[in-house]
Each structure stands twice: as C-alpha cells, then as structure tokens.
Structure 1
C-alpha cells in the first residue's frame, strides 16, 4: 500500500473526466493532474510533437513521485504509450485499450463507430485494435470541433447539436450499434452525441473504463492507498492562466471546486527537451 498520488495527464481539461471517474471509484487515492493547456489541442499536431510534449509532462509527474501514470488523452496514448512503458518504472495506464474491450463486449451487430480527434483517427490505433476480430466492422470519424467546444466550456448549445449531427451522420448511415467516445473531452458532450445517435446505440466512454483499469492495476500490484489515507487532489496547468483552467474545470465537472478538494494549481515550468 502507498499514499503516493496517481499521476494523470491530458492535453487540457478533457482528462478531468478520467480524474473524476478515478476519484469516484477510488475515493482514498490522491490525484496529481496536469493539463497541457499551453499546447492544447494535441489532435491536429504532428505525432512527433505530441510524443515530445507528452513525455515532458510524464517526466514531470514521475519526478513528483507518482505511483502510476494515466495517459488520459487518446492522441497521446496513440503517440507514446510504448515509449512511456519502456521509459518509466511505474505502471502506465492508457485510455484506448479499456474502451476497445468494452465496445467488443457491448456490440450486438458487430458494427462499431469510433469518434476522436484527427490525430487519433489518423493514427489508426482504434482500427488496428478492433481489426484483430474479423467479426467486427469499424467506422471511424474525426470530430475535431468537439474539443474546441469543450475547451471553450460550450457543451449544450444548438451549434454543438448541429455539428454533432454533421459529424455523426456517417455512423448513423453505417448502422453502428456502439460508439466509442475516443477522446476524453467527448463525455462532456455525451448528451448531444446520444441524442443524435439515438437510444438504440450504446456509448462507450473511455473515462469510466480507464478508471476500472486503474483499479485493477493498483490491486494487482498492491499499490492501493490504506484505509486511513487522507487524499489530496492537485490540478496543474501548463498555460499562463491557471484561473481560466480552474473556472472551466469547475464548470465542466458540475460541482464546486471544494468538492474535488483542490489544494493547489498553477502554471508549471516544463523542461526544454527530453533525454
């Protein structure tokens, strides 16, 4: 057992869905979250840049003594997961595998849709993971404006619904019965996505599935915090305006800052390069 925090990393605020799910499932665990708001969004950026940015953040988390790393960003997971698992001694959990396993178990007709950033969809990582099962047909759709909406705190306007209808039309036409929300920002738009896809389509969200994987990893490695642990939740941003990050995080998480026991935040200095 150890009281060291779980380190969670995302390109911005989207990974807060994972942090929220982890805290709900593991209320005694401390969390150290870093959102790379200075360089968000990752989706349109070259994979090499995403890899470099992500490893810088993960290095920072490891230096601060986390007991586990959670890459709460689909684009970063696709770009650097193998590097991270070779680079660090602590366990590394990502958001793609857990969602894929749940989608396979959920689908009834074998037709699965995946939505994500341009970087995630372009990497083909979901298509490759689903492709090992010949019974499945996978339909992938990039939804780049979804991240812009979430980062701006816009989740329930007519514009969101209109864009969702445009992006999701190919998946509806394909007759998918399961859709993977392949970006941790997207659960904040689950209302619009569910409305457009219809009640007969199951949505698989990477936040809750990743939290379950975190639980399994902590138990199997005897890393759970003890019953007397007093958890702290620390949220940091790389951007200059931590206040903007906090206001948006508070709004998107749907509860007061005090409810997530915020103890510290602020812009952090990142290394100029990686070793």
Structure 2
C-alpha cells in the first residue's frame, strides 16, 4: 500500500478522494484542504503557485508516495513547478474538454470552471489542440465554490446562482457540460434539476484515479497487505468541519477506514 496525498483548496477534492477510495481502498490517504484560503479561483496566479507548492511540499515531507493536486485552479497555475520541485509522482486534474469534444453530438460544449482556470495558459493551450468545429462556451462559476464550502451545495441560493451561470451554456444549445472544477460534481443533482437528464456531464475523477493507479504500479517496494487503508483529514481552518462535510459529501463508507483529523499548522 502507498501513502497518497490529495490536496485541494477546500472540499472539492473530495470528489477525487471518493473515487480513489472506491478504486484503491487499500492505500492510506492524507486529504489536505486549505479551507482558510478557499476559494483559489479568485486569487492571483503567483499566490496560487506559491501556496500550492508549499502545501505539496508539506505532503511530501509527511511521507507521501504520490500526490494528487485535486484542484483545477492549482493544477493550471502550479503543476509544472510542483513536479519540478518534488521527486514523487504528482497527478493533476484538468477540465475534461477533450472527452467532451469526442462525446458531443452537436459540437457545442459548455465549460463551467473558475475564472483562474479559464484564463490559464494550460487550459487555453489544451483548448487550442481540439477540433475547430467544436464550439466551447466558457462560463466562470463565480460564487459557487464558497456556497459548496459552506455546506450549501443543495440550497435554493446555490440553485439560483447555478441557473444564472448555466443560462449562457443552455442558450447556446450545449448538449455537453464539462464540470471544470472538482467542487462542481457535488452540483450534479442541481444541474439535472435545471437542465434535465438529456445533457451529458463530464468530470475527470475516474481518469485521474486511473492515472494515479498507473503511477503507483511503477513504484517499487509497496506493500499490498492491507485490504482497507486509513484516511486523515487535514484542514488549515477547521478539521472537524472538514470531516463533517466529508461524511456528507462522500458516497463511500468512511466507517470502513481508520479516520483521523488534524489541523494544519504554519508551513512557512
């Protein structure tokens, strides 16, 4: 088994952790939420890069064999530098615009993501590689992450704001929507309520965990003795609150794992 770090600005990365616990339950996990500084999507590129690197260094120093940067914004702004600085596998996440382009029937794809992700060089470089006959409707989901972070993913306030953000995507006739932030899979029910079941929703949790699995298979001397590993929830704000939200948002059964919490101290 391996010790895997999963890092996000807040609870969004729980969507990745959920899939990891489903596919790779035998490993131990450190889930690090920088909730004191969420959301990242409205912060400067330099701040995001420096903070993300510092947190990933912390996870590496804790003995992680691999790290998942389970935040689209942090991946877009910092993944290259993190990989350059650390000697362990670092898996990032990015909006699933490539699978969306392959799946769409009418060539119109909505991309709901943070402003920082949509403006990033990494995202736009990826966009430039895709077929020109596919039209992407880019929409920043401003305000959605704080609502999810506050435990209001299914509130009327969130539904109203989400409807506003989805309107340009719907008006354009999109048949596919990319959930370009790891927080947004927790809005699936609300999106279905607003747009129905015919629209396709794309998120990359499964692909990210499959890449993690491939990276782990390349590592040597990893024990496979345990059936189910432990999960430690680390928060820069309130570790008990993080555990409570994880219990609400995760579909996996946390009671099967040894669960502990930890408050993140000063990491310099």
With the length of structure 1 as denominator, give the TM-score of the two structures: 0.89
Shift of 1:225: 5.1
Match of 1:90 in 2: 88
Within 1, Cα distance between the matches of 2:189 and 2:257? 23
Match of 1:270 in 2: 266
The gaps in structure 2 that reach 5 residues or longer are none
The farther-off stretch of 141-150 and 101-110 is: 101-110
Match of 1:46 in 2: 44
Match of 1:106 among 83, 98, 103: 103
Call closer, same or farther: CA 1:224–1:72 in 2, change over 3 Å.
farther
For the residue of structure 1 that corresponds to 2:35, the secondary structure is: coil
Check the 8 A contact 1:4/1:65 in 2, yes or no: no
> 1:242-257 to 2 correspondence within 5 Å?
242-253=239-250, 257=254
For the residue of structure 1 that corresponds to 2:187, the secondary structure is: helix
> 1:20-39 to 2 correspondence within 5 Å?
20-39=18-37
Check the 8 A contact 2:91/2:211 in 1, yes or no: yes
Match of 1:81 in 2: 79
Within 1, Cα distance between the matches of 2:198 and 2:163? 16
Match of 1:129 among 114, 121, 126: 126
Check the 8 A contact 2:113/2:179 in 1, yes or no: yes
Within 2, Cα distance between the matches of 1:212 and 1:20? 13
Instruction: Confirm whether residue 178 of structure 1 aligns to residue 176 of structure 2.
Output: yes
Check the 8 A contact 1:29/1:225 in 2, yes or no: no
Match of 2:195 in 1: 197
Match of 1:228 in 2: 225
Shift of 1:255: 6.4
Call closer, same or farther: CA 1:79–1:200 in 2, change over 3 Å.
same
Deviations 1:138-174 (A, max 9, x none): 1110112211111111122222222111100100111
RMSD: 2.0
With the length of structure 2 as denominator, give the TM-score of the two structures: 0.91
